[in-house]
Amino acid sequence: MRKVSLLLETPLSESFRGRDFLSLHDYTTEELFHIMRLASSLKAQRNIPLLEGKTLGMIFAKSSTRTRVSFEVGMFQLGGYALFLNQQDIQLGRGETIADTARVLSRYLDGIMIRTFAHEDVEELARYSTIPVINGLTDLLHPCQALADYLTVYERFGKLEGLKLAFIGDGNNVAHSLMFGAAKFGVDFVIACPEGYEPDLGVLAKAREDAEKTGASIDIVREPKEAVHNAQVLYTDVWASMGQEEEQKERQKAFCGYQINQELLDVAAADAIVLHCLPAHRGEEITDEVMEGPHSAIFDEAENRLHVQKAIMALIMKGERK
User: Annotated catalytic residue: which of 259, 277, 295, 309?
Assistant: 277
Asked if 142 is an active-site residue, the reply is yes
Catalytic residue, candidates 115, 251, 276, 307? 115
Is 277 designated active site? yes
CA distance 110 to 179: 30
Contact (Cβ atoms closer than 8 angstroms) between residue 62 and residue 117: yes
Is residue 281 annotated as a catalytic residue, yes or no?
no
* Catalytic residue selected from 34, 66, 142, 251: 142
Catalytic hit among 176, 295, 305, 307: 305
Instruction: Say what angle helices 29-44 and 298-317 make with each other, to 10 degrees.
Output: 110
Q: Give the type of residue at 132.
A: P
Does residue 97 sit in helix, strand or coil? coil
Q: Which of 87, 200, 237, 295 is catalytic?
A: 237
Q: How many helices (H) and strands (E) does the chain have?
A: 14, 9
66 given a catalytic annotation: no
DSSP 115: E
Spatial contact of 48 and 77, defined as CB atoms under 8 Å apart:
yes
| CA–CA distances in Å: residue 42 to residues 3, 164, 198 | 9, 27, 36
Q: Of 77, 87, 145, 232, which one is the catalytic site residue?
A: 145
Is 259 assigned a catalytic role? no
Residue 145 is among the residues annotated as catalytic for this protein: yes
Catalytic residues: 115, 142, 145, 237, 277, 305
